[in-house]
Chains A and B, each alone.
Chain A
């Protein structure tokens, strides 16, 4: 007998997000969990990955000891070359971002609002503020998706009516891959597309800070063991 998972782990969230990336798509993956999406490209599909510091079409991490520190991603981790890799400077890199040339950007989140507002760069006035490319990435990609736990570590909803933390962008998120569900952000509403089979709609709603709307059938969120 197979146990129904209580929630998806980060690999499973990344796997689910990867299933929606079309062959030939140009994709930017945010630092952290979203980076894992690259590992789960379905067979037969080839996405081209973009990193802000000026590489298109890079490969996986090198073996330990094989790093070339001129060949890193935006997270400052070493990557590798692939046939077809291209280098470019930072202004061209963000022209790709802002100019609408990326198909998908997948980012992490502290909070996402039903309006599509995203907060993912600052947890408030304490600490050293750092924004990097997040505010640029939320504008320009045809799809801005978020990969996130459904709730915070202390159980509070991350999907909310209005963000309370400093915003990264206004009305920019189009889809959420959470640890419990797949949700579209459309017309100022959360529209539920998939949820874990073992979770009732009421239970999911209780863990969500804004109303989940239904627009057609809700599929079971099914992922492999990872």
Chain B
């Protein structure tokens, strides 16, 4: 078994129009910038994929990563908790122009919907959002005297994820708070593609330190010294550069 992929272009090759794509990260931490940029490269070369539904906590920052994916016009709908950032101009303009649909989900509910999707749990009840606009139209039930809102699982065709170490079996470890949504998204997608800073031999990650077991991962591509969204934005980067 070898889940290692030769390059980023191969890694994003099977992503088709209209798919739901989970993209890991919280802000820039744990965001698979290189995989996103490879997907943009494919769109610029072939016109596909487009009309994507993207699941991420945020809506991009500046003109790189998720913001660049939106700016390229590839995203039809965004499912997120917090579509604001230091520089949210790309999403904000697309939203105001009616060019992108937004499903706003409380952050913990978003995490649990993804986890439920990966765990085969079609719905669950949470106290979050009860009595608020975000609970409109959702079933409510009382448990032990308190009201709870029913939420549905969230699944994806593809997850693009960033981890620190990976082996050819797909076992992953993460780096600090770059973990965030990434392990959950690995579970919830039919196909999970991971960029790692280093591919190691099986056994190169201590079994006690494996956070995502390889069963949840379909492809691993090595991206040494991955870019950080925050650094790119501090440098005023735009992707692709020609669009600047």
A is bound by B: yes
Q: Which residues of A contact B (CB under 8 A)?
A: 51-55, 67-72, 76, 81, 87-91, 93-94, 97-98, 117, 122, 128-136, 139-140, 166-170
Name the CB-closest residue of A to B228.
A69
The answer to whether A70 and B176 have CB atoms under 8 Å apart is yes
Q: Which residues of B contact A (CB under 8 A)?
A: 26-30, 57, 81-86, 88, 91-92, 95-96, 102, 104-112, 114-115, 126-134, 174-184, 211, 228-231
Show 10 A/B contacts (Cβ-Cβ < 8 Å), sorted by A.
Answer: A53-B180, A70-B29, A72-B28, A76-B85, A89-B182, A89-B183, A135-B129, A135-B132, A136-B108, A169-B131
Q: Which of A91, A139, A166 is close to B112, meaning CB atoms less than 8 Å apart?
A: A91
The answer to whether A98 and B127 have CB atoms under 8 Å apart is yes
Name the CB-closest residue of B to A94.
B108
Q: Which of A90, A117, A133 has the most CB of B within 10 A?
A: A90
The answer to whether A89 and B228 have CB atoms under 8 Å apart is no
With contacts A53-B26, A130-B84, A168-B132 taken as known, whether A70 is within 8 angstroms of B178 at the C-beta atoms is yes
**Chain A contacts for B86, CB-based, 8 A:** 76
Q: Which of B26, B30, B132 is close to A167, meaning CB atoms less than 8 Å apart?
A: B132
**Chain B contacts for A140, CB-based, 8 A:** 127
Interface contact tally, CB-CB below 8 A = 144
Q: Which of A55, A130, A136 is close to B177, meaning CB atoms less than 8 Å apart?
A: A55
Q: How far, in Å, is B95 (CB) from chain A's closest CB?
A: 6
The answer to whether B111 and A90 have CB atoms under 8 Å apart is yes
Q: How far is the CA of A169 from the CA of B131 in the complex (A)?
A: 7
The answer to whether B107 and A88 have CB atoms under 8 Å apart is no
Q: Which of B102, B114, B126, B177 is close to A98, meaning CB atoms less than 8 Å apart?
A: B126
**Chain A contacts for B184, CB-based, 8 A:** 89-91
Q: Which of A51, A93, A98, A117 is close to B128, meaning CB atoms less than 8 Å apart?
A: A98
Q: How far, in Å, is B53 (CB) from chain A's closest CB?
A: 18
Q: Which of A89, A169, A170 is close to B180, meaning CB atoms less than 8 Å apart?
A: A89
The answer to whether B108 and A128 have CB atoms under 8 Å apart is no
The answer to whether A90 and B180 have CB atoms under 8 Å apart is yes
